[in-house]
Amino acid sequence: MSDQKYNSPEDPYFEDAQADEFEEEELISKTELKRQAKELHKLGETLVNLTDAHIATIPMDEELADAVAIARKVNKKKDGYRRQLQFIGKALRQRDTAPIEEALAKITHQHQASNAAFHALEKAREAVIEKGDPAIQKLIEAHPELDRQKLRQFHRQIKKEREKNAPPKAFRELFQYLKDVIHED
């Protein structure tokens, strides 16, 4: 009797065995299901609003890609767009969304990195304009491929432009020069 399994309702420990099996199953509340559906709906909306180049990088099966393509064609002010987004959300519930979310995170990271690079170039340009030679020296130490004479020339031209209230041609050219040379690294 010590090796006996409790498989029938007559056994005294049958209910305990059933309770253990019941606890192993994960219960998801209706509220949690709604929250997940809302997140997938937002994910679908994000997919629809991506550019063509970014959509090409997202790993989607044919059905989901077609649904996204249709939603992109539908007028966003019409009810058909809302229904198409609901369909995309439903389709996403039946799929593993981890690869899609990873691809979106990568796109977001690239965007943030390009914004940071843009702001760094703007700061470098402002430093050259405001501080002159000390800023040029720091910039050349960080990026030896820059031309000191050219940077000094831009500095002088920008000062003249500002004194005469002329269009900021050299200001723009300096930014473009920094962008071209520093991004080649």
pLDDT tens across 121-154, in order? 899 899 988 998 899 999 989 889 999 999 999 9
Q: Is the pLDDT of residue 2 over 70?
A: no
How many Å apart are CA 60 and CA 62, to the nearest integer?
Answer: 7
Q: Comparing C-alpha atoms, which of 181, 177, 184, 180 is closest to residue 125?
A: 177
Q: What is the pLDDT of residues 49-106, one digit of tens each?
A: 888 888 888 898 899 989 999 998 888 888 888 899 899 988 988 888 889 999 988 8
Structural domains present in the chain: 30-95 (1.10.60), 103-182 (1.10.60.30)
Neighbours of 135 (CB within 10 A): 19
Distance CA 168, CA 149 (A): 20
pTM exceeds 0.85 for this model: no
- Average pLDDT, whole number, for the chain? 83
